[in-house]
């Protein structure tokens, strides 16, 4: 009996270890999910006004992963949209990896966010929003919830509005719901 239970436990553990998630690593969306993991590390640093070695490492990882993106699993009707995405990611991530200051990193993040936002808009991964800052004329990805703009610094961190992906469950505090503004300055 003990041996049977041990065998069943091992079998259950192996099935969990090798189970195929909804976005497997071999699918395009699965590969993009891995890239998104590194993107989130960069986003978190820039939203906290931080530029350190972790940003360069994450950007280098994105460039490396983007070079081997497999577009063969992309539905035929989306292939044209995604045709240039790998190179756009490589170029933006390479630029970001070489950024010497916060301003350069933020500029490269804008370029990196464009293809990432296209992916989120088309594939709609769970829990990811595309946000837009009209002042910076730039998008970024973040989890639903409090706006954390990675481009503008601490005084205007909440500037931005959701424009795609998963809609937040409730209105964001401190924003004019219709325009995403938190004051009368029109940004």
Predicted local distance difference test score (pLDDT) of residue 73: 85
- Mean pLDDT on 32-41: 97
pLDDT digits (tens, 9 = 90+) for 53-87: 999 999 999 999 999 999 998 888 888 999 999 99
pLDDT digits (tens, 9 = 90+) for 117-142: 999 999 899 999 999 999 999 999 99
Predicted local distance difference test score (pLDDT) of residue 154: 84
For residue 109, pLDDT beyond 90: yes
For residue 186, pLDDT beyond 90: no
For residue 11, pLDDT beyond 60: no
Q: Could you tell me which residue, 6 or 96, shows the higher pLDDT?
A: 96
For residue 26, pLDDT beyond 80: no
- Mean pLDDT on 139-166: 88
- Mean pLDDT on 140-162: 91
For residue 175, pLDDT beyond 70: no
Predicted local distance difference test score (pLDDT) of residue 165: 63
For residue 180, pLDDT beyond 50: no
| CA 81/CA 75 separation, integer angstroms | 10
């Amino acid at each position: 009996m003990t041996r049977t239970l041990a065998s069943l436990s091992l079998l259950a553990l192996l099935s969990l270890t090798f189970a195929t998630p909804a976005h497997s690593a071999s699918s395009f969306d699965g590969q993009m999910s891995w890239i998104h993991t590194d993107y989130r590390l960069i986003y978190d640093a820039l939203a906290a006004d931080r530029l350190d070695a972790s940003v360069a490492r994450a950007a280098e990882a994105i460039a490396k992963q983007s070079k081997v993106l497999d577009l063969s699993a992309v539905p035929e009707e989306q292939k044209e949209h995604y045709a240039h995405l790998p190179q756009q990611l490589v170029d933006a991530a390479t630029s970001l990896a070489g950024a010497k200051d916060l301003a350069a990193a933020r500029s490269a993040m804008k370029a990196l966010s464009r293809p990432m936002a296209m992916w989120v808009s088309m594939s709609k991964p769970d829990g990811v929003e595309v946000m837009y800052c009209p002042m910076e004329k730039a998008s970024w990805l973040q989890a639903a919830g409090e706006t954390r703009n990675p481009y503008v610094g601490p005084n205007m961190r909440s500037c931005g509005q959701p424009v795609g992906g998963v809609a937040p469950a409730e209105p964001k505090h401190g924003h004019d719901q219709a325009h995403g503004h938190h004051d009368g300055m029109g940004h």
